[in-house]
Chain A
Amino acid sequence: MMLCQHEETAVQIAHGYAKASGKPMVAILHNLVGLLHAKQGDLLRLHRSRARLHRRGNRPDGRNQAPPAHRLDPHRAGAGRGGCARYTKWDYQPHTIDGVPESFARAYGVMMTQPQGPVYMIYDRVLQEQKLAHAVAMPPPHAVKVPARIGPDPSALAKAADLIAAAERPVIITEYTGRDHEAFATLVELAETAGIPVYDINARLSFPSRHPLNVSMSKDAFREATASCAWTRATGRSPPPELVSTTREVKSVVPAGAKWVEIGFGDLELSSWALDYQRMNHADVRVMADTTLAIPMLTRLLRDRIAKDKRLQSRV
């Protein structure tokens, strides 16, 4: 247990641990002020999706004596909980100790299901300080803790493969593929199999920066693109536009006729509160799937098409 001088520090430590290890970490915070401080860390979570479990010791009346249950202040408790609901995937307050294991199990599953994100569990001090009068059943050890990943629609993925195979100069733009360590190597395999340059937005490191097919930091790859494949966490990630300083006009560097394929979690994380997505790309193919699953499948489809097509072989 690490004692932190500030709630933001506690949340960011948990966030960093989750990003580096792929495993969740708990941040324990106090109600209201602690939660409000923690939100600063949560704001960053919206941009860097990873799993964290927040716990809070709740004492709504702000006094040293533990209040009886009937004196809980719903206004203050609700203010904290309601405030965090927009930043977290789920929040819940069990009111009896028997409700803790089930809600904990649900919280873990919600948090670790892709796209991952923090959950917020509220454990009131009154609840925590009660002497246990009976044994509390834990979740069964054989039960699956996290559901399987979201796979792509095979027919939609085949359409995506056809479109990429037909393109003269395809480009991949990636944002969060590298959030999963497994996916890092699979994206390299896809790029090398089909001979497609990759523009990494670097929200995560998704593609090796010194790879010959890495075209990050250069918009030139998009100027003559005939198909762009976007692999994103949120919807509509497009290449960085170009600003004409004399007219202050913002232009897309992608030719108007280019086709778009979008593979990722699409609008799953779209929030009415935070505008961290861009303008919508009217894609030709949209596949909602975990890229860790979809990219190897797409690589196999493209490999089959390349084996039968000499034009594609020459491009690669």
Chain B
Amino acid sequence: MKEAKRQKRGVTPTKDRWASDVIVDLLHAYELPHAALNRAPPIAGCTTPSSTTGATCPR
């Protein structure tokens, strides 16, 4: 059911793990549930990998 919902939102689960996942694991391990994020100016056109949801890529 969860998988179906995620796929409906366009999010394809992946078994691959990325280095940014280690940072997220640490945030959980140290009970840091909240993060305030600024994604940088649009001129840079950047994304922060751990802050966005990707399909097969952490971007």
Residues of A within 8 A of B (CB): 1-7, 9-11, 13-14, 17, 23-31, 33-34, 37, 53, 55, 57, 59, 62, 64, 97, 100-101, 104, 108, 123, 125, 127-132, 136, 138-139, 141, 145
Q: Does B4 have its Cβ within 8 Å of any Cβ on chain A?
A: no
Q: Is the CB of B34 within 8 A of A17?
A: yes
What residues of A have a CB within 8 angstroms of the CB of B39 in the complex?
3, 30
Q: Does B48 have its Cβ within 8 Å of any Cβ on chain A?
A: yes
- Return 11 A-B CB contacts under 8 Å, by A number: A6-B38, A23-B31, A29-B38, A29-B40, A30-B40, A37-B38, A64-B45, A97-B22, A100-B19, A101-B26, A129-B19
What residues of B have a CB within 8 angstroms of the CB of A34 in the complex?
38, 40
4 residue pairs, one from A and one from B, having the closest CB atoms: A30-B40, A10-B36, A128-B20, A26-B35
Q: Is the CB of A59 within 8 A of B44?
A: yes
Name the one of B32, B49, B58 contacting A26, with C-beta atoms under 8 angstroms: B32
The verdict on A1 contacting B34 (CB below 8 Å), with A57-B48, A57-B49, A141-B29 known, is yes
What residues of A have a CB within 8 angstroms of the CB of B40 in the complex?
29-31, 33-34, 57
What residues of B have a CB within 8 angstroms of the CB of A17 in the complex?
34
Nearest residue, chain B, Cβ from A112: B30
What residues of B have a CB within 8 angstroms of the CB of A145 in the complex?
30
Q: Is the CB of A28 within 8 A of B48?
A: yes
What residues of A have a CB within 8 angstroms of the CB of B18 in the complex?
128-132
Apart from A25-B36, A26-B35, A128-B58, 20 more pairs, CB < 8 Å: A1-B35, A1-B36, A1-B51, A26-B36, A28-B37, A28-B38, A30-B40, A30-B41, A30-B48, A33-B41, A53-B32, A57-B49, A62-B44, A64-B44, A100-B26, A128-B18, A128-B19, A131-B16, A131-B19, A132-B18
